[in-house]
Amino acid sequence: MSLVDHLEECGFRALESANAAEAVKLMEAKAGAIDLVFSDVRMPGEMDGVGLAKWVKQNHPRLPIFLASADATKVDLAKELCAHEAFFAKPYDVEKVAVHIREILAARKATH
């Protein structure tokens, strides 16, 4: 089961993007309606997941971003970008991801 399918089964609404540029357009179009970004480090196009994470931190600093990667060369950078959030090494357990997302969103809701 894909992560998107699992998250939707858990009651989340998940939006997918084919690449980082599409994700940026989606976040700009739905500003305020997105609660969290989950991205693979390796993405097609000019901007990878690390670039997307940097864009999110610059343009939506309160928006949590989770990164995932199987690429050992990107792990340290991804962990640095997600120092206060989450990094998932592949293969990851979709249930653990869902639990962590729920915890982060509940904590954010409690502080707002």
Phi, psi for residue 65 in degrees, rounded to 5: -130, 130
Cβ neighbours of 52 (radius 10 Å): 26
Cis bond before residue 91 (omega within 30° of 0):
yes
- CA dist list (Å): 106 to 7, 37, 94, 109, 111: 15, 15, 18, 5, 9
For the entire predicted model, the pTM comes to 0.85
Greater confidence (111 vs 67) lies with 67
pLDDT of residue 50: 87
Question: Domain 3-111 adopts which CATH fold?
Answer: Rossmann fold (3.40.50)
Structure tokens at 74: 């990107």
User: Can you tell me which residue has the tokens 């931190």?
Assistant: 57
Using the predicted structure, report yes or no on whether residue 111 has a pLDDT greater than 90: no
Using the predicted structure, report yes or no on whether residue 74 has a pLDDT greater than 70: no
> pLDDT tens digits for 28-68?
999 889 999 999 988 999 999 889 999 999 999 999 999 88
Of 28, 4, 7, 33, the residue nearest 16 (C-alpha): 4
For the chain, the domains span: 3-111
pLDDT of residue 31: 83
